[in-house]
Amino acid sequence: MLEMLHIYLIFALLMYLLGVYTLASARNMIKLVIGIEILVAAANLNFLALGAFTSSPSVLGPIDPMVQVFVIVSICIGGAIAAIALSLIVNAYRHYGTLDIRELRRLKG
């Protein structure tokens, strides 16, 4: 039973590491938004796995619905943030003609 929990936690850790790597290495603003969304998905998976495996002693027992509500709210807020971020990225591209973070940092001032 706990072996399944380890699988979910390892997969969430891999997703988290992928998101951190994407944030650390990306120069494109769209890749940064994708990296942030991967981090949010890893946190949601971790939260769901821990909520499902620690709420009841058996697999078929009831799962606390509050965990699922928090994850659904997190997904909705993450989608809204991604939409706003992508609209800002489109406006930055129209105005400056590039999505490169280093290039945009040189333009300030």
Residues 6+ apart with CB under 8 A from 57: none
- What are 76-90's pLDDT values in tens digits? 999 999 999 999 999
Q: Looking at the predicted structure, is the pLDDT value of residue 33 above 80?
A: yes
> In this prediction, what percent of the chain has a pLDDT beyond 70?
90
The CATH code belonging to domain 2-107 is 1.10.287.3510
Kindly provide the b/e burial profile for residues 20-53, where b requires at least 16 CB atoms within 10 angstroms of the residue's own CB: eebeeeeeebeebbbbbbbbbbbbbbbbbbebbb
Domain boundaries, the chain: 2-107
